[in-house]
Amino acid sequence: MIFTAHVEILPHPDLLDPQGKAVLLGLSNLNITAIEDVRVGKHIVLNIEADSMQVADDLAKEACEKLLVNPIMERYSYEVTED
Amino acid sequence: MIFTAHVEILPHPDLLDPQGKAVLLGLSNLNITAIEDVRVGKHIVLNIEADSMQVADDLAKEACEKLLVNPIMERYSYEVTED
């Protein structure tokens, strides 16, 4: 079966996010001042071939922890759906 | 009122995604071969001060179209929630 995992990775709330600050400046240059804060992270879509939802979930978690996420600077969440 | 918009930006399905291919190679080096495809995009969180959900929604859309998204290479979706 094919599963899709959507992974959201964002900088830790306590850390400065320079990319978000750059976007905020860009918005203010466009006179969009109602947007008060921006944080920029990653959205990663994984297509997983697995026998069950549980196996797909474990694989997504392993990929996050071993490769995709830097736990010192980022936090993540993911959701697995069956195609 | 404060609203939060979560914007997901992904490379167009028809386009090659070199960052995704690099992640796929990294996963295969970790012997995670059940993940067959990876696409890497952006996840952007906007904090919006607005009088109504409709205004916040319009601001999020304007930010996407004027600054955040390159419509030639990317597609996007977003969701606005009230805090």
A83 pLDDT band (50/70/90 cuts)? confident
Domains and CATH numbers, chain A: 2-82 (3.30.1280.10)
pLDDT average, residue stretch B5-30: 96
Chain B residues within an 8 Å CB radius of A62: 32
| Residue A73 to chain B, least CA–CA distance (Å) | 15
For B18-39, give one letter per residue: b (16+ CB within 10 A) or e: eebeebbeebeeeebebbebbb
Q: What is the pLDDT of residues B52-70, one digit of tens each?
A: 999 999 999 999 999 999 9
User: Which run of H or E residues covers position A80?
Assistant: strand A74-82
ipTM over 0.85: yes
Backbone angles phi, psi at A57, to 5 degrees: -60, -45
Closest residue in A to B55 (Cα) is A34
Q: What is the pLDDT of residues A14-71, one digit of tens each?
A: 999 999 999 999 999 999 999 999 999 999 999 999 999 999 999 999 999 999 999 9
Please tell me chain A's helix, strand, coil percentages from 3-state DSSP, rounded to the nearest 5.
35, 40, 25
Closest residue in B to A60 (Cα) is B35
